[in-house]
Amino acid sequence: MSAQDRIRDTVTKNDVVLYMKGTKSMPQCGFSSRVAGVLNFMGVDYADVNVLEDAEIRQGIKDFSDWPTIPQLYVKGEFVGGCDIVTEMTLSGELDQLLADNGIAFNKDAADQIRAANA
């Protein structure tokens, strides 16, 4: 199975997927840590894919999304964005809306706490 096929399979079979450097419990870069931290704090159930473990996936995800950087967040098979986009969406409430619209459970109070801390 090609890297593209494995990526397509992963984003199709999981409601939320984060392609990142490291894992959700042990991120290996600041940008991955920020996005994983937001998802973890908000209680989002997501699959994490450590691109450092597989060079084909590391390059393949960039080709798949036509996005040059890691991390990359997918919701219901759709590419959402990287660290800056996810951060902006969290602070504006757009991430809450995206998750809610797609039936993804999350802790609204935690999301509000993130916004309050960054106001």
Mean per-residue pLDDT, 8-18: 98
* pLDDT average, residue stretch 12-27: 98
**How many angstroms separate the CA atoms of 46 and 7, rounded?**
15
- Cβ atoms 111, 96 nearer than 8 A: yes
For domain 3-117, the question of CATH label 3.40.30.10 is answered with yes
CB 70 within 8 A of CB 80: no
pLDDT tens string 62-78:
999 999 999 999 999 99
87-105 mean pLDDT: 98
Alpha-carbon gap, residue 89 to 66, rounded angstroms? 20
pLDDT tens profile 35-94: 999 999 999 999 999 999 999 999 999 999 999 999 999 999 999 999 999 999 999 999
Distance CA 39, CA 22 (A): 15
Residue 85, token pair as written in the block:
């986009």
Is pLDDT of 25 > 90? yes
Q: pTM for this one?
A: 0.96
